[in-house]
Amino acid sequence: MKPKASSRATITMMAAAVAVLSVWSHPASAQVAGQWKDPNHVYAKICSNCHDIGVGPVIKGRNLDPDYYFQVVRHGMRAMPAFRPTDVDDAMLHRLAETLSKSAPPGGPK
């Protein structure tokens, strides 16, 4: 018997929660605000854990306004949690948002 669509959505949401919690509970991933090397480091250590594996939507290559990325990261959206300035400081988040707004889609330009 196939699971209902609502069951699949629940499983997806639970997988997202586990992915986020596993990232933040692992000591090697802990960072102090201001300790990020560059926007790519932030993306690799935080964003990619959901957005590169299909748990969250693709966020590269979407030509979104940098402020949109900033607001979603700070305030969260649907299953995505909000990230505090103690997680990623404002200056680095602005750099990340600029980088994402200009990024090519996964797999290269279309």
Helix, strand or coil for residue 3? Answer: coil
Instruction: Report how far residue 77's alpha carbon sits from residue 73's, in angstroms, rounded to the nearest whole number.
Output: 8
Please, are residues 64 and 102 in contact by the beta-carbon 8 Å criterion?
Answer: no
Instruction: Report how far residue 5's alpha carbon sits from residue 100's, in angstroms, rounded to the nearest whole number.
Output: 31
Residue positions annotated with a catalytic role: 79-80
